[in-house]
Structure 1
Amino acid sequence: MKLFLLLVLASVFYSVASVTRKIAAFNIQTYGPTKAGKPDVMDELCQILKRYDIVLIQEIRNADGTAIVQLLDQLNSESDVNGAYSMEIGPRLGRSSYKEQYCYFYKHDFFTILDSETYNDAKDIFEREPMNTLFRDLDSGKEFVLSGIHVKPDDAPTEIDELTTVYDSIESTLGTSDVIILGDLNADCSYVSSKDWNSISLRQDVRFDWLIPDSADTTVSTTDCAYDRFVSAGTITSSIQSASVYNFESDHNLSNSFAKEVSDHYPVEITITY
Structure 2
Amino acid sequence: MTRQPSSARVTDCLLGGKDNYPVDSDLAKALMETVGSMRQAVACHEKFKEIALRYLVQQGIRQFLDIGCGLPSSAAPVYLLPSSMDVAVVYMDIDPIAMAHVRALLPNRRHHRVGHLHADLAQSEGILADEHVTGVLDLSRPIGVLMHAVLHELPDVDAYAAVRALAARLPPGSALSITHPTADHAPGPMSRAADLCAQAGLPPVTLRSREGVSDFLQGWDLMGPGIADTARWHPDGTPQADRTCVSYAAIAVKPETGARRPMTSESARSGQRLSLGALDQQTRPQTIHRP
Specify the TM-score bucket, using the shorter chain as the normaliser.
Answer: 0.3 to 0.5
| Structure with greater strand percent | 1
Greater Cα radius of gyration, structure 1 or 2: 1
Q: TM-score, normalised on structure 2?
A: 0.39
Q: TM-score, normalised on structure 1?
A: 0.40
| Structure with greater helix percent | 2
